[in-house]
């Protein structure tokens, strides 16, 4: 009787441990196997971009980004580092701060208050100290408002993309968006992807690989920046493990048609449970 009980206990202990065993591992979505970070680095395309799709509030994601920037610099592979969190009007300030990352302040960069400086500070400093340029890619609020009313300047993709993005925007805002706003929001998303892709093309380095720091939707091959980039792109989605998901296949995102979603999934530590929808519903309506 003791032996079966011990076997049962070992199985129960193994369930959360299996999810934890994914942490820090890189899953090749096409080959369906784990590969090393060095293998990924060896596969990076000169003249192209590595897109790191983050969860914005996950501290480990930003620590990994800073580490990878430094590791690619040591390997002499690092091209420019670009960030969604920086609006294009900030570029002169970034250029002035190049090489002085350890002493830079958020005030010196006109850092936008919507992004937590404490999380992004190590990424910004690593990029300023090691990359040939830190690139501001995003549109200003006025430009985003213009896209909301006038549409994205480079138009749209296939109808399936439009439908997918409407559903995604509605779900990601917990059903709180009025249906009448979805197309305007979608146009803003398109305009931002187009603008960021343009900036990446402008700053591509022929012999190195650039690194783009952005949210996971912008980094996706089927939905985001790569659809407009016209440069080689490798997409890595950084995903926090969940206790009830113990296999890499459990984390494969739903994709758009036959388009690949990403090239790799990088598993990171779990975050404390958080009800984002409850937080959103509790926010006062903006004017």
Whether residue 83 has pLDDT greater than 80: yes
Whether residue 199 has pLDDT greater than 60: yes
Fold entry, domain 23-282:
Rossmann fold (3.40.50)
CA angle 228, 149, 184 (to 5 degrees): 65
Whether residue 14 has pLDDT greater than 50: no
Whether residue 195 has pLDDT greater than 60: yes
| pTM metric for this prediction | 0.90
3-state percent breakdown (helix, strand, coil) of the chain, nearest 5: 50, 15, 35
CA distance 173 to 176: 6
Interval 257-278 mean pLDDT: 87
pLDDT of residue 254: 93
pLDDT of residue 92: 98
**For the chain, percent of residues with pLDDT exceeding 70:** 89
Supply 213's token pair. Answer: 């720091």
Whether residue 173 has pLDDT greater than 80: no
Mean pLDDT of all residues belonging to the chain: 91
Burial class (CB in 10 A: 0-12, 13-18, 19+), 278: exposed
Whether residue 250 has pLDDT greater than 80: yes
Question: How does residue 101 score in pLDDT terms, banded at 50, 70 and 90?
Answer: very high
> DSSP class of residue 78?
E
Specify the 3-state DSSP secondary structure of 55.
coil
pLDDT of residue 172: 82
> What are the CA-CA distances from residue 55 to residues 52, 119, 176 (Å)?
10, 11, 21
- Give the model confidence (pLDDT) of 180-192 as tens digits: 899 999 999 999 9
Supply 24's token pair. Answer: 């820090």
pLDDT of residue 112: 96
């Amino acid at each position: 009787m003791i032996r079966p009980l011990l076997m049962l206990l070992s199985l129960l202990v193994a369930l959360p441990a299996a999810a934890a065993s994914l942490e820090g591992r890189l899953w090749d979505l096409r080959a369906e196997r784990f590969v090393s970070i060095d293998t990924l680095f060896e596969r990076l395309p000169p003249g192209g971009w590595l897109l790191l799709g983050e969860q914005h509030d996950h501290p480990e994601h930003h620590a990994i980004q800073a580490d990878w920037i430094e590791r690619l610099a040591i390997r002499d592979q690092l091209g420019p580092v670009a960030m969604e969190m920086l609006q294009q009007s900030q570029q002169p300030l970034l250029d002035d701060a190049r090489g002085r990352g350890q002493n830079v302040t958020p005030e010196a960069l006109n850092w936008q208050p919507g992004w937590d400086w404490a999380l992004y500070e190590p990424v910004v400093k690593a990029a300023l100290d090691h990359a040939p340029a830190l690139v501001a890619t995003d549109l200003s609020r006025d430009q985003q408002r213009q896209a909301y009313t006038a549409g994205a300047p480079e138009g749209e993709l296939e109808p399936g993309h439009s439908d997918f993005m409407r559903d995604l925007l509605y779900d990601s805002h917990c059903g709180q968006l009025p249906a009448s706003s979805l197309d305007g929001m979608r146009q803003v998303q398109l305009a931002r992807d187009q603008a960021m892709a343009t900036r990446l093309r402008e700053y591509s380095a022929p012999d190195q690989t650039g690194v783009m720091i952005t949210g996971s939707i912008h980094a996706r091959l089927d939905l985001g920046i790569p659809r407009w980039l016209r440069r080689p792109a490798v997409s890595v989605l950084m995903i926090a493990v969940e206790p009830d998901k113990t296999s890499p296949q459990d984390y494969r995102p739903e994709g758009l048609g036959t388009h690949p979603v990403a090239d790799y999934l990088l598993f990171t530590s779990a975050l404390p449970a958080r009800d984002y929808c409850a937080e959103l519903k509790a926010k006062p309506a903006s004017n």
